[in-house]
Structure 1
Amino acid sequence: MRNKYIDLINQTFYFPQEEFKLTDNNELTFHDIDIAALIEEHGTPLKVTYLPKISKNIQKSKKWFANAFEKYNYKGKYFYSYCTKSSHFKHVLDEALSNNIHIETSSAFDINIVNSLLDSGKINKDTFVICNGFKREQYINNIAELINKKHKNCIPIIDNYEELSLLEEQVEECLNVGIRIASEEEPKFEFYTSRLGIGYKNIVPFYKRQIEDNPNVNLKMLHFFINTGIKDNAYYWNELHKCLKVYVSLKKICPTLDSLNIGGGFPIKSSLGFEYDYEYMIDEIVNQINTVCSEADVEVPNIFTEFGSFTVGESGANFYKVLYQKQQNDRELWNMIDSSFITTLPDSWAINKRFIMLPINRWNEGYERVLLGGLTCDSDDYYNSEQHSNAIYLPTYHPEKPLYLGFFNTGAYQESIGGFGGLQHCLIPQPKQLILNRDKDGKLTTTVFREKQTHQEFLKILGYEN
């Protein structure tokens, strides 16, 4: 009978896959990393970041755009920007920026990171800094200070009618700006129009009223963002065409406008059955921009993207041990992990996000249907949504046989949303974190970024210790 866990996977998905393979001992590898060996050395819970995957995804995107530009004889340039809010960690930014890319910021403190990167030589005056978000005093101050230091490629994206005048008050020379389109959301959303940006119909009047005859301001960029990301559906293509109509209208009266930012992001792999044709989507986006501009007899724009999750998401993984199994009734088996989903994978309970979940060992044994529970006393600290029709199947629990689990492609947002280095729900400590890289010979290198959080750190935050 084919009743082993490996049989279940082989019957359900194409396996092995590019990043997932099995060793001769039927233990899982991730990008050819021996996970079992890492766990044996460092224990669980454990968080890892595999830096080469960041560069690999950036280079893939650059190649796809280059191919599309060549295919359609596209006259503009492509600029890959990293959305820093996905992960602000220095090792992530260092790896991403080694690929000659640009960055997008979201808040005041982001500009402090930009200044640090400038001081260290990681970026330079040619690096574009795209400043998004709703801007209040400190963010405005920091942007103005950066521009006044002669960083001409800092482009604040105007989110509301007041921001432009606030920036003008502080910027000493000519100001280059973008305008964000307030896109219409999908019908299933609770609201009709994005709270961010300026409505389609209001952008041209806003330009004529506040920018067209203003010698101190140049409109350089139109920013187009879809909350649900770049998807091959009628909603996305319809919104893109509405955006292109605005671009064409603006370009005919605004010679300084030369860039279109198609923020919104690519999806990342959340299941072994994940399918998404990145190259086709890029090809079609470039084709449609080229076609619309050609028909309107206007120059095509430079294209900016702001990929956050696509840049860093697939570099991350979390590993746990099954501590115990509880049978709560005749149907539900609860495998309790040695950490908390609320604290280490907050998206799994906050927005019901799915990650790839696979056992690390015991693939050659029988399996059972289970639920996964975290250590906190909160009823929401569980994970039960997996690729098998809202069920999780894992090798059968045995007290004398340790079972380890991996959640993969967890590199975006989880630390910042979970509150890295701060208080955690029920004071469950954050796991040990490793940075994984490869040297010039391809050998894996391991650096401990942070040890497991201690009770002394919690007590100091809470005021019990100085």
Structure 2
Amino acid sequence: MNTKYIDLVEQTFDFPQEEFKTENNKLFWHGINLMELTAKYGAPLKFTYLPKISENIIKAKGWFQNSIAKHNYKGKYFYSYCTKSSHFKHVLNEALKNDIHIETSSAFDIDIINNLKKEGKIKDNTFIICNGFKRDQYIKNIGGLINSGHQNCIPIIDNFEELPLLQKETSRPFKVGIRIASEEEPKFEFYTSRLGIGYKNIVSFYEREIANNEQVDLKMLHFFINTGIKDNAYYWNELMKCLNVYINLKKVCSSLDSLNIGGGFPIKNSLAFDYDYEYMIDEIINQIKQACDEAEVEVPNIFTEFGSFTVGESGAAIYEVLYQKKQNDRERWNMINSSFITTLPDSWAINKRFVMLPINKWNRQYERVLLGGLTCDSDDYYNSEQHINGIYLPVYEKDNPLYIGFFNTGAYQESIGGFGGLQHCLIPHPKHLIIDRDEDGNLTSRVFKEQQKSSELLSILGYGEVSENKIESEKLVKEAVL
């Protein structure tokens, strides 16, 4: 009878997979021996595998170029990364190796852009697409970037008042885009996105505010829907409505030459994940070309803003199962040595699923369990109620620790969880590693951030003297040990 954990996985999924395999009953991810990593750095542990960022960018650029060639599409493709998915410098540095462009969403984003420009990571011809609702400092920072001579800074107009505000802060001519306020999927509590300008108002807005404005040229029409790029009637219907706006706008605006279809490519959330990226890209290019050809207008350059797709699959977290609590005859709670609310907040806030697999003990029998975090919050758990399928893991053994990994966690979790700040119940943020490969393809690793200390949290909370005493105490203890 096949009752080992590896039997369960191999009978349920196509396994091994591109990034996952096992050796000696231990899990490898992108060739990384995760038990060796855990033995060296401990758990809980979060880490970023940088090569996956470049890999996904290169894949997407290749898919678009193949489709453009196939359909004899005359426009160009521009890959943009939306920084809100992960603002970390190591992420931006890796992404920018691949000749990409940047989408921003707030004032401080522009400070990051200026920092990267000083280091030569962002060039003057890099497109900086400024999205979001803009006021005060964001407007000023965008104006400063335009005034510095960055001609490819394109603020995306979100409402009727933004254009005059931008003009007051700029002394040069500049390009803009307009965001469409797309209609939401029927399941939403509201009908239209709060972002952008309504379909019916865009052409009249252009003619009223931009057509005869010597300071401003309309460069881009921006389209994005919350549900992302999916092969369903809702997405294709919204795309066609967007194309109708583009065509009508292009007929009265010769400077318009780009269509931004936003982001929304999904990433792998289970071993059964199945999404045909190439088909979706090919069909998008095909529909844009057909619509423009029928209307006898030039096809636009295509921009995308991939955030989760860029960085999501580069992240992972490892936890140790500390203890198993049998609360009744059926439920076994495996308690991890961290918190889901603080380290994987999307699992708690929006019931997001991640790939979850044990790191060791693949040759042991398995059992159905619930996973619990360390905080005293009743919502600090990860289980089948929230995540559709039951959780099965190798049987818990007190004297033989079980380690579990959550994969493809690289987008949003650190920023939503408040990296480096206060955590729920003062559970410290785990140690964070950066994993890369050298020129010979060998793995390298370095500690980006150590696990939070109590002195850091106390300092944030205003216990300054206590924090300083704690640091001094830790120093004296270390000296005494040495």
Q: Secondary structure at the match of 1:245?
A: helix
The alpha-carbon deviation at position 175 of structure 1 amounts to 1.9
Rounded Cα–Cα distance in structure 1 between residues aligned with 2:385 and 2:38: 23
Residue identity matched to 2:70: K
Structure 1-normalised TM-score? 0.99
The alpha-carbon deviation at position 385 of structure 1 amounts to 3.7
Rounded Cα–Cα distance in structure 2 between residues aligned with 1:397 and 1:96: 40
Identity among equivalent positions (%) equals 74
Answer whether contact 2:5 2:364 (CA < 8 A) is retained.
yes
Answer whether contact 1:106 1:131 (CA < 8 A) is retained.
yes
Q: Is residue 394 of structure 1 aligned with residue 397 of structure 2? A: no
Q: Which residue of 1 aligns with 2:135?
A: 136
Q: Which residue of 1 aligns with 2:16?
A: 16
Sort the Cα spacing of 1:304 and 1:388 in 2 relative to 1 into closer, same or farther, 3 A. closer
Structure 2-normalised TM-score? 0.96
Answer whether contact 2:353 2:387 (CA < 8 A) is retained.
no
Rounded Cα–Cα distance in structure 2 between residues aligned with 1:295 and 1:385: 49
Q: Secondary structure at the match of 2:266?
A: coil
Q: Which runs of 5+ in 2 are unaligned?
A: 466-482
- Once the two structures are superposed, residues 70-113 of structure 1 have per-residue CA deviations (whole angstroms, 9 ceiling, x without a partner) of 00101111000001000000000000000010000000000000
The alpha-carbon deviation at position 217 of structure 1 amounts to 1.0
The alpha-carbon deviation at position 212 of structure 1 amounts to 1.0
Structure-to-structure mapping, 1:17-36, within 5 angstroms: 17-23=17-23, 25-36=24-35
Structure-to-structure mapping, 1:207-218, within 5 angstroms: 207-218=206-217
Structure-to-structure mapping, 1:398-437, within 5 angstroms: 398-437=397-436
Q: Which residue of 2 aligns with 1:367?
A: 366
Question: In terms of mean alpha carbon deviation, does 208-217 or 409-418 score higher?
Answer: 208-217
- Once the two structures are superposed, residues 382-404 of structure 1 have per-residue CA deviations (whole angstroms, 9 ceiling, x without a partner) of 00049984310000111011100
Q: Which runs of 5+ in 1 are unaligned?
A: none
Q: Secondary structure at the match of 1:369?
A: strand
The alpha-carbon deviation at position 331 of structure 1 amounts to 1.2
- Once the two structures are superposed, residues 197-237 of structure 1 have per-residue CA deviations (whole angstroms, 9 ceiling, x without a partner) of 00111111111111111111100000000111000000000
Answer whether contact 1:354 1:385 (CA < 8 A) is retained.
no
Q: Secondary structure at the match of 2:180?
A: strand
Q: Secondary structure at the match of 1:225?
A: coil
Rounded Cα–Cα distance in structure 1 between residues aligned with 2:47 and 2:282: 33
Q: Which residue of 1 aligns with 2:97?
A: 98
Rounded Cα–Cα distance in structure 2 between residues aligned with 1:171 and 1:218: 14
Q: Which residue of 1 aligns with 2:275?
A: 276
Residue identity matched to 2:354: F
Answer whether contact 1:78 1:302 (CA < 8 A) is retained.
yes
Q: Which residue of 1 aligns with 2:176?
A: 177
The aligned length equals 465
Q: Secondary structure at the match of 1:347?
A: helix
Q: Secondary structure at the match of 1:343?
A: helix
Rounded Cα–Cα distance in structure 2 between residues aligned with 1:389 and 1:416: 26
Q: Secondary structure at the match of 2:251?
A: helix
Q: Which residue of 2 aligns with 1:462?
A: 461
Structure-to-structure mapping, 1:313-352, within 5 angstroms: 313-352=312-351
Q: Secondary structure at the match of 1:110?
A: helix
- Once the two structures are superposed, residues 353-377 of structure 1 have per-residue CA deviations (whole angstroms, 9 ceiling, x without a partner) of 0000000000111000000000000
Answer whether contact 2:5 2:365 (CA < 8 A) is retained.
yes
Q: Which residue of 1 aligns with 2:475?
A: none
Q: Is residue 6 of structure 1 aligned with residue 36 of structure 2? A: no
Question: In terms of mean alpha carbon deviation, does 351-360 or 389-398 score higher?
Answer: 389-398
Rounded Cα–Cα distance in structure 1 between residues aligned with 2:196 and 2:386: 36
Rounded Cα–Cα distance in structure 1 between residues aligned with 2:172 and 2:367: 67
Residue identity matched to 1:222: L
Residue identity matched to 1:17: Q
Q: Which residue of 2 aligns with 1:154?
A: 153
Q: Which residue of 2 aligns with 1:80?
A: 79
- Once the two structures are superposed, residues 423-448 of structure 1 have per-residue CA deviations (whole angstroms, 9 ceiling, x without a partner) of 00000000000000001111000011
Q: Secondary structure at the match of 1:112?
A: helix
